[in-house]
A and B are shown apart, each in its own frame.
Chain A
Amino acid sequence: MEFITKKPPIVGNSQRTYKRSINLHFALLIVAIAAVILKAYTKVPETVTYTALDQSFKVFLMLAVGAFTSVVIELFYSLSEGSTKKFDSYKGFVDPINTGLIIALLLPTITPIYVLILAVIVGVYAGKLVFGGYGYYIFNPALVGVLFANLSFGSQLTVTNTPLMLLKRALGGETISFTNMTDLFVGNYDALAIGTTSVILLCVIFIYLLITRVIDIRTSGTFLLTVLIMSFGVGFINFYVEGNMSGVFDYVVINMITGFTLFAAVFLVSESVSSPTSRETKMIYAVVIATLMMLVRVLGSQPEGVVFAILFGNMITPFINRTVKRSDNKTLLKTSLILLFTVLFISISLGFILQSELIDIFASIGGALL
């Protein structure tokens, strides 16, 4: 009797790469459907001619076009390579659709369709396929597309009066109050992107993806925690009035639930292919991204900095990977402590930089020492 000698028939570990992709796919589809529905209920200004339903249809069109374009590009690329075997089953379509959907979800409602198509072409072709497709790219392809759209067609994508912009104005000295917190949680307001508004839905999906191990708590959790600490630090220094913490809490909450923060934690930061591999490096990566994001939000001219931050994180991933050689408990503890102190230091510095007091503080410390 002859036998084949290949890998043993291990079936106990049911984790599979394609299962993770499909879970992510479901999550994205739910977010997409929710975005379409939410737009139908979002109030439109009275001065415009279109209705909420028109907006809803525009969102649907964007999502469909994004996914379709992405699939078509991958299909053409496979044809040029001479093999379309990948597309025999639905499994092959999952990853292209995911990329297309993320790009569409990260653009605002007013995006012209041709901008979306260009963004998807740049993202999928230049961001993914030239590196060898799924598993080999070094930059998150969806973000490459979004960054291209934002840089090249910035004037066509401008959205005004999003909560983050109001927050920036508040930092500038204006007094702005956020009264309607329910709207912020449910997500029916006009924002920088169509998919990033519903906090409740994103939280549910965050938990679902954590359970199915699509995303890693050490990346997403550290990211959220860093944003929390930093926004609290900046908020405490800038908005603390004697005995009244409400300004600080407002600042923290707006930073956590609006903009791309939650969407990034759920879909972007934990994207495994372009992020580091061991637990320590994952934490460093998340802290780097969160820090850069907060820097742009607090000091930069753009209201949202997560796209730049994640692409920068992708860029330095090989370097981060090289910083850790072992992955034992001692290294983990050391890394966590160093990261914690770094985050605290940066958040306090940021707060004082905003008030232009940093130089004074350094001068007083120097004076005290001398």
Chain B
Amino acid sequence: MITEYRTFLNPKKVYIPLTDIDSKIANVSVEEGDRVLVGQIVAYKFKGKDKTPVLSTVSGTVVGFVEKLDRYAKIVDHIIIENDLLMETIELTNYKDKLAVSQDRNFIHNVTTYSENISTAQVRTALKGLGIQKVTVDGLFTDIKFKGQTEHIVVNAIFTNEPFISTDYEAIIHNAEAIADGICLLGIGAGAKTLTVIVDKYMPAEALDELGKAIVDKNIELISINVKIIKSWDYKIIQKLVKHNLSLNLLDDGVLYTSVHAALMVHDAIRKGIPVTSRQVAITGDGLKVNAVYDVRIGTLFSDLVEDLEGYHEVENMNLHIGSFLTGIQLDNDDFAITQSVDSINVSEYREVEEDVCIKCGDCNDICPAGILPQNIMDAELRSVNSRIVELDTHLCVECGLCTYVCPSKINVLEWVRRAKRRVG
């Protein structure tokens, strides 16, 4: 349960990973001892010909480079910048001159009118220049990237994470207008035909009101779902839009699927010209003494945040999970830096759940959004029958993890399906 709202915007040092899960090569453009400003490019990371800048989130001195664990559980190079607490920014270009550049996002709800005169190219350039790309990485979510024909923008306004349901609607209540504008900007950037927002049927009325007021006459469709029933809602909604089975990366289907936090970042980047220097992270779980929603400077070490949260409970076995429980990543160490793609962190006691034998109840076959048969694929994989794996359309799996979720025997079905996919290529 979230009990507090905190800010942690002035860490002594920030650690910014130079690469990520997709971009494996980085080209550093500063040296040790250089002074950098907020928003200054410290490196470029490459994925093939795709070039994304890595920005400094504080002003201060580069004190070195170090190999560390990142949030994808890989050891990568990080740049260390010592914060001088001055927060000097580079000269920023924004597409909304009237508004003064503000560091504090929480004042955005005062903004009432926006100039819509902005071109597709401007949006794309701004987002690329400010390094907003990997904001949502869990499950079906896509990068913010305009690849080929992007026809649909789908934005998810639901934050739920088991088992200590941590739902934070404060951000929506305060920034509804900004979120709506961010969605529109994404639509302009993509040249999209439809804009969709997915909300929870039982979300707080205030949040829904604010969001509704903001998106009215913006041509955004609001779809409410019942999150209490576990079902692949977003898959079904997107499938209705594109009218065929989805591929592993939704960008290939012409869909950009992201969260409201990303919409907020897009708004900040374009309307105010500020790069992503901080973001909201929900830190929950019974392993921690205090659960809170943090406004945290990107690059802060998680161990620093834990210190601010008065440390861990003394529990023997603990589990650290980043992102959604179905598709997120587990780390074996808390010495990692917050990046723009970290939306929630859960530290909880590890509860041993014994795996039983498969009783062939077929629950996984019923829930699978892609309409394939995980149990049969698992059976084929156990017997190593390649032809059967191909026959069962294993390639349609989007790795949503619902089969693992519903399994009454607590078998990691997704892992078997992944193995089968790997076997047949």
Contact assessment for A1 and B333 in the assembled complex, using a CB-CB cutoff below 8 Å = yes
Question: Which residues in A have their C-beta under 8 angstroms from that of B357?
Answer: 17, 134-136
| Chain A residue, CB-CB nearest to B412 | A7
Distance to closest chain A CB from B7 (angstroms) = 23
Contact assessment for A10 and B376 in the assembled complex, using a CB-CB cutoff below 8 Å = no
- In the complex, the number of residue pairs spanning A and B with C-beta atoms less than 8 Å apart equals 136
**A window 1-33: CB within 8 A of B:** 1-13, 15-20
Q: What interface size band does chain A fall in?
A: 35 or more
Is A74 positioned at the interface, with any CB of B under 8 Å from its CB? no
Contact assessment for B331 and A18 in the assembled complex, using a CB-CB cutoff below 8 Å = no
Question: Which residues in A have their C-beta under 8 angstroms from that of B409?
Answer: 16-17
Contact assessment for B319 and A6 in the assembled complex, using a CB-CB cutoff below 8 Å = yes
Contact assessment for A279 and B365 in the assembled complex, using a CB-CB cutoff below 8 Å = yes
Contact assessment for B376 and A3 in the assembled complex, using a CB-CB cutoff below 8 Å = no
Question: Which residues in A have their C-beta under 8 angstroms from that of B366?
Answer: 278-279, 327
Q: Which of A7, A136, A272, A321 contacts B361 (CB 8 A)?
A: A272
Contact assessment for B376 and A17 in the assembled complex, using a CB-CB cutoff below 8 Å = no
Question: Which residues in A have their C-beta under 8 angstroms from that of B373?
Answer: 277-278, 324-327
Question: Which residues in A have their C-beta under 8 angstroms from that of B392?
Answer: 325
Question: Which residues in A have their C-beta under 8 angstroms from that of B56?
Answer: none
Is A282 positioned at the interface, with any CB of B under 8 Å from its CB? yes
Contact assessment for A15 and B406 in the assembled complex, using a CB-CB cutoff below 8 Å = yes
**B window 334-383: CB within 8 A of A:** 334, 347-351, 353, 356-363, 365-366, 368, 371-373, 375-376
Question: Which residues in B have their C-beta under 8 angstroms from that of A326?
Answer: 371-373, 393
Is B233 positioned at the interface, with any CB of A under 8 Å from its CB? no
Contact assessment for A277 and B406 in the assembled complex, using a CB-CB cutoff below 8 Å = no
Report if A11-B365 is in contact (Cβ < 8 Å); known contacts: A3-B334, A135-B358, A278-B376: no
Contact assessment for A4 and B391 in the assembled complex, using a CB-CB cutoff below 8 Å = no
- Bound-state Cα–Cα, A7 to B365, Å: 21
Distance to closest chain B CB from A107 (angstroms) = 26
- Bound-state Cα–Cα, A324 to B372, Å: 10
Is B241 positioned at the interface, with any CB of A under 8 Å from its CB? no
Contact assessment for B319 and A3 in the assembled complex, using a CB-CB cutoff below 8 Å = yes
- Bound-state Cα–Cα, A359 to B230, Å: 54
Is B162 positioned at the interface, with any CB of A under 8 Å from its CB? yes
Distance to closest chain B CB from A128 (angstroms) = 12
Question: Which residues in B have their C-beta under 8 angstroms from that of A135?
Answer: 356-359
Report if A328-B371 is in contact (Cβ < 8 Å); known contacts: A7-B353, A277-B365: yes
Contact assessment for A9 and B230 in the assembled complex, using a CB-CB cutoff below 8 Å = no
- Bound-state Cα–Cα, A277 to B368, Å: 13
Contact assessment for B319 and A13 in the assembled complex, using a CB-CB cutoff below 8 Å = no
Distance to closest chain B CB from A327 (angstroms) = 5
Distance to closest chain B CB from A278 (angstroms) = 4
- The prevalent SS among residues of A at the interface is loop
- Bound-state Cα–Cα, A272 to B376, Å: 14
**B window 135-154: CB within 8 A of A:** none
Contact assessment for A327 and B333 in the assembled complex, using a CB-CB cutoff below 8 Å = no
Distance to closest chain B CB from A336 (angstroms) = 15
Question: Which residues in B have their C-beta under 8 angstroms from that of A11?
Answer: 162-163, 351
Is A304 positioned at the interface, with any CB of B under 8 Å from its CB? no
Chain A proximity mask over B220-254: 1 for CB below 8 Å, otherwise 0: 00000000001000000000000000000000000
Question: Which residues in B have their C-beta under 8 angstroms from that of A20?
Answer: 359, 361, 408
- Bound-state Cα–Cα, A3 to B322, Å: 13
Is A275 positioned at the interface, with any CB of B under 8 Å from its CB? yes
Contact assessment for B365 and A278 in the assembled complex, using a CB-CB cutoff below 8 Å = yes
Q: What interface size band does chain B fall in?
A: 35 or more
Question: Which residues in B have their C-beta under 8 angstroms from that of A275?
Answer: 360
**B window 196-230: CB within 8 A of A:** 230
Q: Which of A18, A216, A279 contacts B356 (CB 8 A)?
A: A18
Is A170 positioned at the interface, with any CB of B under 8 Å from its CB? no
Contact assessment for A13 and B350 in the assembled complex, using a CB-CB cutoff below 8 Å = no
Question: Which residues in A have their C-beta under 8 angstroms from that of B353?
Answer: 7
Distance to closest chain B CB from A89 (angstroms) = 11
- Bound-state Cα–Cα, A6 to B306, Å: 22
- Bound-state Cα–Cα, A163 to B226, Å: 50
Question: Which residues in B have their C-beta under 8 angstroms from that of A1?
Answer: 303, 306, 312, 318, 333-334
From A7, A216, A282, name the one whose CB has the most chain B CB atoms within 10 angstroms.
A7
Question: Which residues in B have their C-beta under 8 angstroms from that of A216?
Answer: 361-362
Chain B proximity mask over A195-231: 1 for CB below 8 Å, otherwise 0: 0000000000000000000001000000000000000
Contact assessment for B360 and A272 in the assembled complex, using a CB-CB cutoff below 8 Å = yes
Q: Which of A13, A16, A325 contacts B391 (CB 8 A)?
A: A325
- Bound-state Cα–Cα, A17 to B411, Å: 11
Report if A9-B325 is in contact (Cβ < 8 Å); known contacts: A17-B408, A277-B375, A325-B391: yes
- Bound-state Cα–Cα, A314 to B38, Å: 68
Contact assessment for B363 and A10 in the assembled complex, using a CB-CB cutoff below 8 Å = no
Distance to closest chain A CB from B137 (angstroms) = 16
Contact assessment for A13 and B356 in the assembled complex, using a CB-CB cutoff below 8 Å = no
Is A61 positioned at the interface, with any CB of B under 8 Å from its CB? no
Chain B proximity mask over A309-335: 1 for CB below 8 Å, otherwise 0: 000000000000100111110010000
| Chain A residue, CB-CB nearest to B316 | A4
| Chain A residue, CB-CB nearest to B402 | A13
Question: Which residues in B have their C-beta under 8 angstroms from that of A321?
Answer: 376
Is B4 positioned at the interface, with any CB of A under 8 Å from its CB? no
| Chain B residue, CB-CB nearest to A11 | B163
Question: Which residues in A have their C-beta under 8 angstroms from that of B312?
Answer: 1
Contact assessment for A273 and B362 in the assembled complex, using a CB-CB cutoff below 8 Å = no
Distance to closest chain B CB from A212 (angstroms) = 11
Contact assessment for B333 and A3 in the assembled complex, using a CB-CB cutoff below 8 Å = yes
From B347, B375, B408, name the one whose CB has the most chain A CB atoms within 10 angstroms.
B408
- Bound-state Cα–Cα, A168 to B317, Å: 66
- Bound-state Cα–Cα, A77 to B395, Å: 42
Q: Which of A10, A15, A136, A325 contacts B408 (CB 8 A)?
A: A15
Question: Which residues in B have their C-beta under 8 angstroms from that of A279?
Answer: 362, 365-366
- Bound-state Cα–Cα, A96 to B321, Å: 39
Q: Which of A8, A13, A16, A136 contacts B321 (CB 8 A)?
A: A8
From A2, A3, A4, A13, name the one whose CB has the most chain B CB atoms within 10 angstroms.
A3
Pairs A–B under 8 Å by Cβ, sample size 20: A3-B320, A5-B319, A7-B412, A8-B321, A8-B330, A9-B163, A9-B321, A13-B406, A15-B363, A18-B356, A20-B408, A136-B357, A216-B362, A272-B362, A277-B360, A277-B361, A277-B362, A325-B392, A327-B372, A327-B373
B residues whose Cβ falls under 8 Å from a Cβ of A:
73, 162-163, 230, 303, 306, 312, 317-321, 325-326, 328, 330-334, 347-351, 353, 356-363, 365-366, 368, 371-373, 375-376, 391-393, 404-406, 408-410, 412
A9-B321, A216-B362, A331-B371 known; 8 new pairs, CB 8 Å cut-off, are A1-B303, A3-B330, A7-B353, A18-B356, A135-B358, A216-B361, A326-B373, A328-B371
For the complex of A and B, 5 pairs with smallest distance between CB atoms? A135-B357, A328-B371, A277-B362, A11-B163, A8-B325
A residues whose Cβ falls under 8 Å from a Cβ of B:
1-13, 15-20, 134-136, 216, 272-273, 275-279, 282, 321, 324-328, 331
